[in-house]
Structure 1
Amino acid sequence: MFHPSNEITLSIVSHGQAALISLLLSDLAHLSQQNFQVLITINIPEDESVYQGHSFPVRIIRNTLPKGFGANHNAAFLHSNTPWFAVVNPDIRIETLNFDRLLSPFDNQTIAAVAPLVLSADGKIEDSARRFPTFMRFAKRVLLRIREPDYTVQARPYSVDWVAGMFVVYRRGAFHKIGGFDDRRFFMYLEDADICLRLYKKGWKIFLNPCVSVIHMAQRESHRNLKHMRWHVVSALRYLTGL
């Protein structure tokens, strides 16, 4: 059953990714439960025609200058007024999604953020829930390319250190209290780990909900784009050193 208190804002940022977002909007249009509104931030100019004519509210935010991940979603948060605020990547696909089921862990008032299980395009479980980064863990993953999952997937929602930002729902009050993403220190990458760490230090919990899943059509820009790779390295150093 749909509960009005479960209204949710989906914040999507487009970097010229209208084609991808069009597929995501089509997925959302086929959901039987549409207790959501969509905020699309146009980070660089593009054809916006695919964002028109949907059965659910779609609002457009247009940037005069490009912004980073955290800054874009922080700005979108100020345009929202729902109890739940979700950060959603353009390369997410949704086959089925029950928002009430996704949000059910929030009945626990200590939980600040909930993420669904993330599957790859071929149906494999992605490593989207992790322990907080350390120098050792970063070296193990990046230099040695040892990337075993930090958590074993459970049958019911469970607590994790942090969740990757391709699809995360935040409790509005918690997101507001810590000032959202730290867009001063992080332009792109690691802001998802940082916000979870700051929430954790304030006594909040982060949960993965394996009862719900989405598909991630991974773009992996930092693996093939030198600019993105530089952003990734800079963010990692800032996170690990606290600078």
Structure 2
Amino acid sequence: MSGIAVSIVSHQHGVLVDSLLHRLSEISSPHVTRVILTQNVPEAMPREPDAGWPFSLEVVRNDFPQGFGTNHNKALKNAREDFFCIMNPDVVLFENDIFERLLHAASSDCAGCIYPRQIDEDGKLQDIERDIPTFFSLLMRYARRRPETGRDWVNAAFLLLPSKVWRALGGFDVRYFMYCEDVDFCLRLRLLGWKLVAAPVTVGHAGQRASHRNARHFFWHVSSLLRLWTSPVFWRAWWKKQRRLG
């Protein structure tokens, strides 16, 4: 089945979800054929536009909160579209032809994951492209407060993937409840020979970084980093990069 299946996970993001869905209904045709909205906690159903949704909207209501990767994996398990799109509910879509341009970028050789630029609420470009997060690189990042220059992984606020790539990777590793699932995913993708491709489009994304302010999120972040640093995926990617640089 051609088209794009979009997966959105809401955690009491009702107002943002409504805004995003209505914007999608304005610009998505004919590319987006299905949207799967997972309500991770109880909240109201989205407000349908007068003309109805131009895509198939499926709403999944969880009995209890589940992790980022688990929710997206379940949402896309039975999707048959050619492309899958992971999208955070706080993403803002500015450009009317965004999906056309993302799909054009996806036509490049070995394109495994296509992503847009992200700007925050002040219009500042977000540093979504990152180096492999070693303990030392993280120390340098926060000590120097400088953007990183590598492109070993990108955040998962907005990703477009050929469905064949998603299936080859088995989706996200659900052992990461929250944080680092995008790092692991991108590293696995690149180890299989696929490329991360930046598309010439821009979206808005606040990038709240809750682990800087919330003890529970900080614990999840540290736990995920420890899991990442002890994983074969991390070390294979790190050694491969060292050989390339050496």
Superposition TM-score tier, normalisation by shorter sequence: 0.7 to 0.9
Task: Please point out which of 139, 145, 161 is paired with 2:152.
Answer: 161
Task: Please point out which of 24, 31, 38 is paired with 1:35.
Answer: 31
CA contact (8 A) 2:87 2:156 kept: yes
Q: RMSD across aligned C-alpha pairs, in angstroms?
A: 1.9
Q: CA deviation at 1:226?
A: 1.1
Task: State the SS of the aligned residue for 2:161.
Answer: strand
Task: Give per-residue Cα distances to partners, 1:41-81, cap 9 Å, x unaligned.
Answer: 11111111425743332111122221100010111111321
Give ranges in structure 1 of 5+ residues lacking alignment. 152-159
Q: CA deviation at 1:240?
A: 2.0
Task: Give per-residue Cα distances to partners, 1:163-217, cap 9 Å, x unaligned.
Answer: 1010011111111111111102x000111011010111111111111x1111003
Q: CA deviation at 1:20?
A: 1.2
Task: State the SS of the aligned residue for 2:72.
Answer: helix
Report whether the alignment pairs 1:150 with 2:179. Answer: no
Task: Please point out which of 168, 183, 190 is paired with 1:193.
Answer: 183
User: Which amino acid is the alignment partner of residue 44 of structure 1?
Assistant: V
Q: Which residue of 1 aligns with 2:125?
A: 125
Q: Which residue of 2 aligns with 1:176?
A: 167
Q: CA deviation at 1:115?
A: 0.3
CA contact (8 A) 1:91 1:219 kept: no
User: Which amino acid is the alignment partner of residue 101 of structure 1?
Assistant: R
Report whether the alignment pairs 1:103 with 2:107. Answer: no
Rounded Cα–Cα distance in structure 2 between residues aligned with 1:171 and 1:105: 11
Q: What is the correspondence of 1:66-105 to structure 2 with a 5 Å cutoff? A: 66-98=65-97, 99-105=99-105
Task: State the SS of the aligned residue for 1:50.
Answer: coil
Given the superposition, is the C-alpha separation of residues 18 and 118 from structure 1 closer, same or farther in structure 2, using an over 3 Å criterion? same
> Between the two proteins, what is the percent identity of the paired residues?
39
Rounded Cα–Cα distance in structure 2 between residues aligned with 1:41 and 1:183: 16
Q: CA deviation at 1:26?
A: 2.2
Report whether the alignment pairs 1:23 with 2:22. Answer: no
Q: CA deviation at 1:32?
A: 6.4
The total of aligned residue pairs comes to 228
CA contact (8 A) 1:18 1:50 kept: no
Task: State the SS of the aligned residue for 2:204.
Answer: strand
Q: Which residue of 1 aligns with 2:238?
A: none
Report whether the alignment pairs 1:47 with 2:44. Answer: yes
CA contact (8 A) 1:43 1:65 kept: yes
TM-score by length of 1: 0.87
Rounded Cα–Cα distance in structure 1 between residues aligned with 2:164 and 2:109: 11
Give ranges in structure 2 of 5+ residues lacking alignment. 233-246
Rounded Cα–Cα distance in structure 2 between residues aligned with 1:145 and 1:72: 35
Given the superposition, is the C-alpha separation of residues 219 and 225 from structure 1 closer, same or farther in structure 2, using an over 3 Å criterion? same
Given the superposition, is the C-alpha separation of residues 112 and 235 from structure 1 closer, same or farther in structure 2, using an over 3 Å criterion? same
Given the superposition, is the C-alpha separation of residues 212 and 33 from structure 1 closer, same or farther in structure 2, using an over 3 Å criterion? farther
